[in-house]
A and B are shown apart, each in its own frame.
Chain A
């Protein structure tokens, strides 16, 4: 299967500090990958770089998406090409109604595909249907975007957006953080309903518990700005039981061997 997303040797700096250091990763169409790692390992940086946040400087490496140079695309073009980032901390937009925000996003897609834009009435019908899919109450529609919502409500709102925009590739950045177990089950069920043979997902998480509900095809450990170990879902269970230290130690030994091999 050809890769939907291919990251090669990605090195990224923020405020002069190297956060990603030669990261490589391939995600195939229809696959669900999980990236785990200790705090400060660069997990969120990866999600921001994929979304096109201009505050991150790409030093070297490449990212191709559907065979195209993702790093050369604007954030909005990435979105229109089907890349969706579910934010760890969704941004509040006071004064802008959620339904009209979502309609703008939906119509931007329609426009990019040369399809007719939908009017507010038609859109409300569509939104109701999608909201049911991810169990988001309709009262969310007419509130300001994320403004005054609790952490859990914001995460649900992200899922509503994902359900509406039907991304080909979704990056879920710590979607499980801040959710109680009931909310986690609802959100996970929603994500599972949005899976499909043409859709890929990259889950970024600190804990294994999300993976109990959304089963990954591959699990990667990110440390020191690169992937230090990959495996199947068993790896996640092992990390849960043993922590990260053993993986980091393994990686350090491998580095040393590589260094002495070269000399």
Chain B
């Protein structure tokens, strides 16, 4: 009976599950060298980009899918995936925000992302990506005045080839892993950010990823570079319609921070998680995110709120090369129903006196499984390095599972590591205690979850902290009372 009450509380409908009725202008299904050439041609890419894609594709052919993560799924048929899908618009590449197709505009409006520069979310520039293409980027002009480049990755290849060639693959080479290689071969779009020396980006940057077409894969490529003393705060959001089939989102995100640069990267991930009852459908979110603190005293901070996807396989990491550089990872990962998550971080200490901090909060409900997997590696030259790790798990209901796999590898004697971990449970007795004091179960659940996640939420940019709190509430709240 107690389980029943909990289930009522944690059930809720996915409100982003609608599909936009817009024709696909052009699609490519199946994977071959020809697919790679077609994507490159479609994007009118220079020869060097095509060569890089082909090299990655040929390498991918020699690789095998990794299965070390604690998740299970049927074999993926890479030939049935749609690798490129663009919405059919009146204007093929809109030159201004006014030219964006009204149907697409309405879609993003409905998702709470207005593609205008006047309305809500002022002070936040948005790059909106629909299936395989970026449909609009707001505030480009204003950012350009400050010297900041914020555009789609495809545009960057055309307009800033020297920057793309210099930095792309310098953090996540195509040889890195199976999905990184696949991404390097068939990536379609994503965001590009370049903040020049000494510049503080004048506004929050944000990308919104939407997968609309059934069976389509989304191969996002994002690159953020902060030169000496520059800083930026970037946030990405993601949603998808409900389909019975699984869709693959295999992204590669690279961050580069030069001396005294500061990059803050936040994610609110709410991909469709699959059917709550049957577990069918949902996104496979297989993502490689990594940042390089190249310069002295540089700083990269990852904050993620992972609430969606059928399967999440994701380890935003920091390579701390510059002396005195620091990396941070703040994570809330929530799994419900049949969701599976294997997520965490890697902190690779190379420079002297480097610092890292890991705060991971895993919440598992329903029949889900939530794994934290993390590596702290301190190299022989990283004298004076310090790491603090805290991994907490919260279980809701009797069938949810949580695991923690912390790996450490320390190769010098002058470093300090701290690791704290805890596992707790939301019990029916706790909810009843709130209710006996007149507080409804939904509000009780919200209060417990917020208390559990507050160390992570306070790292999110202002208005998104509120959004994340509400999202978490929605994911677990139901029709009690």
The verdict on A76 contacting B1 (CB below 8 Å), with A87-B433, A95-B451, A97-B451 known, is no
The verdict on A76 contacting B435 (CB below 8 Å), with A91-B430, A100-B447, A104-B443 known, is yes
Chain A nearest CB, measured from B82 CB (Å): 44
Is the interface on chain B under 10, 10 to 19, 20 to 34, or 35 or more residues?
20 to 34
Question: B449-481: which residues lie under 8 A (CB-CB) from chain A?
Answer: 450-452, 454, 481
Chain A hits for B443, CB < 8 A = 104
Question: A68-101: which residues lie under 8 A (CB-CB) from chain B?
Answer: 74-76, 78-80, 84-85, 87, 90-97, 100-101
Could you tell me the distance between the alpha carbons of A84 and B435 in the complex, rounded to whole angstroms? 11
Chain A nearest CB, measured from B269 CB (Å): 23
Is the Cβ of B451 less than 8 Å from the Cβ of A54? no
Chain B hits for A96, CB < 8 A = 447-448, 451
Asked whether A212 is an interface residue with its Cβ less than 8 Å from the other chain, the reply is: no
The verdict on A76 contacting B439 (CB below 8 Å), with A55-B2, A87-B433 known, is yes
Partner of B432, one of A51, A100, A108, A144: A51
Residue on A with the closest CB to B426?
A: A93
Is the Cβ of B439 less than 8 Å from the Cβ of A95? no
Could you tell me the distance between the alpha carbons of A94 and B392 in the complex, rounded to whole angstroms? 12
Residue on B with the closest CB to A95?
A: B451
Residue on A with the closest CB to B449?
A: A95
Chain B hits for A165, CB < 8 A = 437-438
Asked whether A192 is an interface residue with its Cβ less than 8 Å from the other chain, the reply is: no
The verdict on A80 contacting B448 (CB below 8 Å), with A87-B433, A93-B433 known, is no
Is the Cβ of A79 less than 8 Å from the Cβ of B452? no
Could you tell me the distance between the alpha carbons of A93 and B426 in the complex, rounded to whole angstroms? 9
Chain A hits for B454, CB < 8 A = 95
Asked whether A109 is an interface residue with its Cβ less than 8 Å from the other chain, the reply is: yes
Is the Cβ of A95 less than 8 Å from the Cβ of B435? no
The verdict on A105 contacting B439 (CB below 8 Å), with A93-B448, A95-B448, A96-B447 known, is yes
Partner of B447, one of A80, A84, A101: A101
Asked whether B436 is an interface residue with its Cβ less than 8 Å from the other chain, the reply is: yes
Could you tell me the distance between the alpha carbons of A118 and B430 in the complex, rounded to whole angstroms? 24
Could you tell me the distance between the alpha carbons of A51 and B433 in the complex, rounded to whole angstroms? 10
Chain A hits for B27, CB < 8 A = none
Is the Cβ of A53 less than 8 Å from the Cβ of B432? yes
Could you tell me the distance between the alpha carbons of A96 and B429 in the complex, rounded to whole angstroms? 15
Is the Cβ of B481 less than 8 Å from the Cβ of A74? yes
Count of residues in A whose CB is under 8 Å from the partner chain: 32
Partner of A75, one of B2, B424, B432, B450: B432
Asked whether B5 is an interface residue with its Cβ less than 8 Å from the other chain, the reply is: yes
Partner of B436, one of A79, A92, A94, A97: A79
Chain B hits for A109, CB < 8 A = 438
Chain B hits for A11, CB < 8 A = none
Is the Cβ of B438 less than 8 Å from the Cβ of A54? no
Asked whether B46 is an interface residue with its Cβ less than 8 Å from the other chain, the reply is: no
Chain B hits for A205, CB < 8 A = none
Question: B301-348: which residues lie under 8 A (CB-CB) from chain A?
Answer: none
Could you tell me the distance between the alpha carbons of A92 and B424 in the complex, rounded to whole angstroms? 11
Could you tell me the distance between the alpha carbons of A51 and B431 in the complex, rounded to whole angstroms? 13
Residue on B with the closest CB to A92?
A: B430
Chain A nearest CB, measured from B410 CB (Å): 31
Is the Cβ of A108 less than 8 Å from the Cβ of B430? no
Residue on B with the closest CB to A164?
A: B437
Asked whether B440 is an interface residue with its Cβ less than 8 Å from the other chain, the reply is: yes
Chain B hits for A79, CB < 8 A = 435-438
Asked whether A175 is an interface residue with its Cβ less than 8 Å from the other chain, the reply is: no
The verdict on A91 contacting B440 (CB below 8 Å), with A55-B2, A76-B435, A79-B435 known, is no
The verdict on A75 contacting B436 (CB below 8 Å), with A54-B1, A93-B430, A95-B454 known, is yes
Question: B407-440: which residues lie under 8 A (CB-CB) from chain A?
Answer: 424, 427-430, 432-440
Asked whether A60 is an interface residue with its Cβ less than 8 Å from the other chain, the reply is: no
Asked whether A21 is an interface residue with its Cβ less than 8 Å from the other chain, the reply is: no
Question: A128-170: which residues lie under 8 A (CB-CB) from chain B?
Answer: 144, 161, 165
Residue on B with the closest CB to A53?
A: B432
Chain B nearest CB, measured from A111 CB (Å): 9
Question: A20-62: which residues lie under 8 A (CB-CB) from chain B?
Answer: 51-55
Partner of A108, one of B5, B429, B439, B448: B439
Chain A hits for B433, CB < 8 A = 87, 90-91, 93
Chain A hits for B430, CB < 8 A = 91-93
Residue on B with the closest CB to A94?
A: B424
Asked whether A112 is an interface residue with its Cβ less than 8 Å from the other chain, the reply is: yes
Is the Cβ of B439 less than 8 Å from the Cβ of A91? no
Could you tell me the distance between the alpha carbons of A92 and B441 in the complex, rounded to whole angstroms? 16
Chain B nearest CB, measured from A101 CB (Å): 7
Chain A hits for B424, CB < 8 A = 94
Chain B hits for A75, CB < 8 A = 432, 435-436
Is the Cβ of A76 less than 8 Å from the Cβ of B451? no
Could you tell me the distance between the alpha carbons of A92 and B481 in the complex, rounded to whole angstroms? 23
Chain B hits for A76, CB < 8 A = 435-436, 438-441, 481
Could you tell me the distance between the alpha carbons of A93 and B437 in the complex, rounded to whole angstroms? 13
Chain A nearest CB, measured from B466 CB (Å): 17
Could you tell me the distance between the alpha carbons of A13 and B443 in the complex, rounded to whole angstroms? 30
Chain B nearest CB, measured from A212 CB (Å): 28
Partner of B438, one of A55, A90, A112, A144: A112
Q: Which residues of B contact A (CB under 8 A)?
A: 1-2, 5, 424, 427-430, 432-441, 443, 447-448, 450-452, 454, 481
| Other contacts beyond A55-B1, A91-B429: 4, CB < 8 A | A95-B450, A96-B448, A144-B451, A161-B437
11 examples of A-B residue contacts, CB within 8 angstroms: A54-B2, A75-B436, A76-B438, A76-B439, A91-B430, A91-B433, A93-B433, A95-B451, A95-B454, A104-B439, A105-B437
Can you list the 7 inter-chain pairs with the closest CB atoms, starting with the nearest? A95-B451, A79-B438, A105-B437, A108-B438, A75-B435, A91-B433, A96-B451
